[in-house]
Chain A
Amino acid sequence: MPTPPAPPAINGADTAWMLVATALVLLMTPALGFFYGGLVRSKNALNTMMMSFAAMGAVGLTWALAGYSLAFGDGGPLLGGTGHLFLRGVGLEPHGTLPHLLFMSYQGTFAVITAALISGAVVERMRFGPYLAFISIWSLLVYAPVCHWVWGGGWLGNLGAIDFAGGTVVHVNAGAAALVAAAVLGPRRDYGRQALLPHNVPFVLLGAALLWFGWFGFNAGSALAANATAALAFTNTLLAPVATLAVWMALDRLRTRKTTAVGAATGIVVGLVAITPAAGFIGPMSAIVLGAAAAFPSYYAILYRSRTRLDDSLDVTAAHGVGGLLGALLTGVLASAVWGGKDGLLAGDPAQLARQAAAVAATFAYSGVASFALLKLIGAVVPLRAAHRHEGLGLDVPQHGEEAYTSGEGAILVLPDPPTAAGASAPARSPGLAAEVPAGSRA
């Protein structure tokens, strides 16, 4: 997604499409919350969904305050500048054919979802405060530089590596951080000893559906214009996951004789991840090939991972890391200048594959090392993991003071203490409820 040389004027059609695309990408983060939330046990449903929702509050803010400047401000090959700190100089003026503010907002939604993706590796055991600290700092320390390398005029972009909508910047980046985070946090206490089953598979399907819907904004919006390239990326975002879904269902059926719903949702996401770097660079038949091919490594990576002690609980590395890796490399194979981008291996430029590999390797290495250091740093100040007792109880009540599915039985309304009350232990009760419940009885 290279920043085009700036034509002077804002284009109405481009602006209209990108306003919608920005909203679509923002929707992906709550959608991810439903996808992840359905996959965990009911006692952790709210905590898991909040990890995605809260990323909007945390990373959305760091992006506006500093992240955008570090990623897209004028700077060197490694990092953007400080020129746009606090959105200084980001206003109504054109950036390409878009208002500069809109470009900043659009990119902000990418930063948010990238950070939220990592949460799938640490669910059901990481404390919420350290998680917020981690993704906030991570968005500045890891996401902004990598984004700058590829899209902001940094060294990977200059090297000629191409990434249409974020195969490396978003998915390899988040996948590497997730791998490291799962290893640093360690497995859940019940991992490998009990069956840890998804508590709401319809939520998983709902999340996958909304992710796909939002992904049209993610990929087709990365054209940054309402043009033919956007239509190409849109078509590929339709066709690649279709192929992945078909292959995934077939693999499921061959292995277990059943086509699973959780598998179908996973297959859709893997296909979306894989087409992301290639969306505006390859033809539609190539997208089908890419989507079909993407199913295999992720499918078997998930099977392999679940037999190890690495509790990447919701398989962020297998889906996003491996899927992003495959997509980025196949972009270097299938890309063709006929479709408006560059030539890849099959179109006569084998060096493009090497450039793609370099971008993946650099992103994986930097994200892995920096995420490790950041988690260790935060872990030295506060514990990363919830207490054993809280892990057994589920994190919803200890971390958020709420339950996802409460019957309300046994709940007693606490009215505010009257200022003259003698003891703090005697809050007024709603008379109706107090009559039903043996309140205050102690064994």
Chain B
Amino acid sequence: MKLITAIVRPEKLSAVLEALFKAEVRGLTISRAQGHGGETERVETYRGSTVKMELVDKVRLDIGVSDPFVQVTVDAILRSAHTGEVGDGKIFVLPVEKVIRIRTGDEDLAAVTPATPAM
């Protein structure tokens, strides 16, 4: 089992969710995040104040998957979140010690996205 954490552009979220859905990845958590990944600074002006926006809005996805699904999930995110410009985000794949589904008490493989990838 792995935990896949992906940081993507907010405007790409719909495309990413669609790609994950098509890849039959079920179950994920998203959160709004702010970060900095080397994008060109954005300058905004409010009356006399000029400000540089160092932090950029991002969306963070956390997806727990079984091992055969890791590549499928990563591929789906790579395809759908890519623009080629600085600031597309990152994908982190982390080992997971234990997963428990609260409703049933199912543990580990029974509690994450199914073991057989669709493709």
Q: Considering the chains assembled together, what is the distance between the CA atoms of A400 and B37 in angstroms?
A: 23
Q: Considering the chains assembled together, what is the distance between the CA atoms of A439 and B38 in angstroms?
A: 11
When A414-B52, A437-B55 are in contact, do A401 and B44 touch as well, CB less than 8 Å?
yes
A389-435: which residues lie under 8 A (CB-CB) from chain B?
389, 392-394, 397, 401-403, 406, 409-414, 427
Q: Does B100 lie at the interface of the complex (its beta carbon under 8 Å from any beta carbon of A)?
A: no
In the complex, how many residues of chain B place their beta carbon closer than 8 angstroms to a beta carbon of chain A?
A: 23
When A389-B83, A393-B11, A411-B53 are in contact, do A401 and B43 touch as well, CB less than 8 Å?
yes
Chain B residues positioned under 8 Å from A411 (CB to CB): 44, 51-54
Identify which of B12, B14, B45, B54 contacts A401 (C-beta below 8 A). Answer: B45
Q: Considering the chains assembled together, what is the distance between the CA atoms of A442 and B42 in angstroms?
A: 14
Identify which of B14, B43, B83, B85 contacts A194 (C-beta below 8 A). Answer: B14
Q: Does B34 lie at the interface of the complex (its beta carbon under 8 Å from any beta carbon of A)?
A: yes
Chain A residues positioned under 8 Å from B50 (CB to CB): 413-414
Identify which of B11, B36, B44, B55 contacts A403 (C-beta below 8 A). Answer: B44
Chain B residues positioned under 8 Å from A397 (CB to CB): 42, 44
Q: Considering the chains assembled together, what is the distance between the CA atoms of A397 and B11 in angstroms?
A: 14
Q: Does B49 lie at the interface of the complex (its beta carbon under 8 Å from any beta carbon of A)?
A: yes
Chain A residues positioned under 8 Å from B49 (CB to CB): 413
Q: Considering the chains assembled together, what is the distance between the CA atoms of A413 and B47 in angstroms?
A: 12
Q: Considering the chains assembled together, what is the distance between the CA atoms of A44 and B49 in angstroms?
A: 22
Q: Considering the chains assembled together, what is the distance between the CA atoms of A393 and B14 in angstroms?
A: 13
A359–chain B nearest beta-carbon distance, Å: 45
When A397-B42, A441-B36 are in contact, do A392 and B11 touch as well, CB less than 8 Å?
yes
Q: Considering the chains assembled together, what is the distance between the CA atoms of A43 and B11 in angstroms?
A: 10
B69-101: which residues lie under 8 A (CB-CB) from chain A?
83, 85
Cβ-closest chain B residue relative to A415: B50
Chain B residues positioned under 8 Å from A4 (CB to CB): none
Q: Considering the chains assembled together, what is the distance between the CA atoms of A397 and B50 in angstroms?
A: 13
Identify which of A190, A393, A413 contacts B51 (C-beta below 8 A). Answer: A413
Cβ-closest chain A residue relative to B41: A412
Q: Does A8 lie at the interface of the complex (its beta carbon under 8 Å from any beta carbon of B)?
A: no
B23–chain A nearest beta-carbon distance, Å: 18
Interface centre among B14, B54, B83 (most CB of A within 10 A): B54
Cβ-closest chain A residue relative to B54: A410
Cβ-closest chain B residue relative to A43: B11
Q: Considering the chains assembled together, what is the distance between the CA atoms of A194 and B14 in angstroms?
A: 7
A166–chain B nearest beta-carbon distance, Å: 36
Q: Does A443 lie at the interface of the complex (its beta carbon under 8 Å from any beta carbon of B)?
A: yes
When A393-B11, A438-B36, A439-B54 are in contact, do A402 and B83 touch as well, CB less than 8 Å?
no
Interface digits, A184-213 against B, CB 8 Å rule (1 contact, 0 not)? 000000100110000000000000000000
Interface digits, B26-68 against A, CB 8 Å rule (1 contact, 0 not)? 0000000010111000111110011111111000000000000
Identify which of A43, A410, A427, A442 contacts B38 (C-beta below 8 A). Answer: A442
Would B34 and A409 count as touching, CB distance under 8 A? yes
Would B37 and A409 count as touching, CB distance under 8 A? no
Q: Considering the chains assembled together, what is the distance between the CA atoms of A401 and B36 in angstroms?
A: 19
A224–chain B nearest beta-carbon distance, Å: 40
Cβ-closest chain A residue relative to B85: A389
Would A402 and B44 count as touching, CB distance under 8 A? yes
Would A443 and B37 count as touching, CB distance under 8 A? yes
Cβ-closest chain B residue relative to A434: B54
Cβ-closest chain B residue relative to A416: B50
Chain B residues positioned under 8 Å from A402 (CB to CB): 44-46
Cβ-closest chain A residue relative to B43: A401
Q: Which residues of A contact B (CB under 8 A)?
A: 43, 190, 193-194, 389, 392-394, 397, 401-403, 406, 409-414, 427, 437-439, 441-443
A409-B34, A410-B54, A427-B52 known; 19 new pairs, CB 8 Å cut-off, are A190-B14, A389-B83, A392-B9, A392-B11, A393-B11, A401-B44, A401-B45, A402-B45, A402-B46, A410-B34, A410-B53, A410-B55, A411-B54, A412-B52, A412-B53, A413-B49, A439-B54, A442-B38, A443-B37
Q: Which residues of B contact A (CB under 8 A)?
A: 9, 11-12, 14, 34, 36-38, 42-46, 49-56, 83, 85
Q: What are 9 contact pairs spanning A and B, CB under 8 A?
A: A389-B85, A392-B11, A397-B42, A402-B44, A410-B56, A411-B52, A427-B52, A437-B54, A439-B54
A-B pairs, top 8 by smallest CB distance, nearest first, are: A410-B55, A392-B11, A411-B51, A414-B50, A443-B38, A410-B54, A412-B52, A194-B14
